[in-house]
Structure 1
């Protein structure tokens, strides 16, 4: 029996890779997208809803699936306003998790970040950590939190500071081994592969760090 998947953030960097992977996946018969803007990808499997994601809770009647992939996220450079940043990186994933609980969706996979910690002194890590805590409070049966390091790949919009950071991380990757390996930058397609695999096979841990994501992606090839 084919499954229905929901993707939040399908027009983003990682979400777009995930969408391209789920379309040919015969295990999925329908892919529901909730986005602010339309994706350029076309498929008979796609059911697209263009909405204000800050108002996601108003669409609970359409929020029905077997698995939800939450690929929502921004950066402090792109969204310097802390209130808006929190609405994106905390508000949307937590609302999605609450909808999963309400609609009895038992599989929720969400992208967080390496270093997420509700007690962190850093706003970015603190927000991600608080998001993880709130998501887990929904007690969704199969919840998996992906914690990538800096995500590589080319975005459509230009982010000069992020581009510089990525170039530095590429250079640093060559000296990051052993315990430091998880801090190497990661390609968004690796995250997409890992999410696709874990959605079907599960995983031994709820939180999956960047080096583990890479290993899952490699095993999925």
Structure 2
């Protein structure tokens, strides 16, 4: 019997790259995605589940029997019009509900995309505090292996255009050369590298909680 993986956030920058890698790689024989609307992707390994993301039970069919759950889901303040409660429903509730179901269904590893600087004690930054809370919640679930990825600015072509992020990407090669030591964690990284690193991490069988920042992301990605 082959391995099964489940992906949340497959339409995003990292998630889309990850999905392509998963479909091209032989490690998983089935790849299930949880989506709000059907993806225009067709592949014999791919199974799409259109669900209500606010209903935890609707996650179960896709996650049941999975060896790995990849969670790269997230939104922006622009999409939720600055509403913190709506933001939490996506960036907090969905990963935590997915991890809860994964634990109940005996999933071996949960691979989570977080953010550099995530810290549940960070009271001056809503985004970083929320990411830290999610990390802690997921890590407390009864899942043998949890891999947390903390990238900084993501490089790549988004479907959604973000002017500020695009300008940062243009300037990234200039300011990155000055980011040394611990500042390296804040260097921009290709979304494809993060996705490749997530797949490599998922193939490891060591139990525990692992946190990956810039250097370890590149190492896992073979950069």
| TM-score, scaled to structure 1 | 0.92
Aligned residues: 219
Kindly state the Cα deviation for residue 126 of structure 1 after the two structures are TM-superposed.
Answer: 0.3
5+ residue gaps, structure 1, are: none
Counterpart in the other structure of 1:13:
13
Residue 100 (1) aligns with residue 98 (2): no
Quickly say closer, same or farther: Cα 1:131–1:188, change in 2 above 3 A. same
Tell me whether 63-72 or 50-59 shows the greater mean CA deviation.
Answer: 50-59
Tell me if the contact between 1:2 and 1:26 (Cα under 8 Å) persists in the aligned partners.
no
Kindly state the Cα deviation for residue 40 of structure 1 after the two structures are TM-superposed.
Answer: 2.2
**In 2, Cα distance between equivalents of 1:32 and 1:71:** 14
Quickly say closer, same or farther: Cα 1:155–1:56, change in 2 above 3 A. farther
Quickly say closer, same or farther: Cα 1:106–1:77, change in 2 above 3 A. same
Counterpart in the other structure of 1:60:
60
Kindly state the Cα deviation for residue 176 of structure 1 after the two structures are TM-superposed.
Answer: 1.3
Tell me if the contact between 1:78 and 1:159 (Cα under 8 Å) persists in the aligned partners.
no
Counterpart in the other structure of 1:197:
200
Aligned with residue 163 of structure 2, among 155, 160, 164: 160
**In 2, Cα distance between equivalents of 1:170 and 1:107:** 34
Secondary structure of the 1:42 match is coil
Tell me if the contact between 2:69 and 2:110 (Cα under 8 Å) persists in the aligned partners.
yes
Quickly say closer, same or farther: Cα 1:52–1:167, change in 2 above 3 A. farther
Secondary structure of the 2:29 match is strand
Tell me whether 147-156 or 35-44 shows the greater mean CA deviation.
Answer: 35-44
**In 2, Cα distance between equivalents of 1:202 and 1:213:** 17
Counterpart in the other structure of 1:42:
42
Counterpart in the other structure of 1:2:
2
Counterpart in the other structure of 1:115:
117
Residue 207 (1) aligns with residue 208 (2): no
**In 2, Cα distance between equivalents of 1:58 and 1:2:** 23
Secondary structure of the 2:55 match is helix
**In 2, Cα distance between equivalents of 1:216 and 1:18:** 14
Tell me if the contact between 2:107 and 2:143 (Cα under 8 Å) persists in the aligned partners.
yes
Secondary structure of the 1:5 match is strand
5+ residue gaps, structure 2, are: none
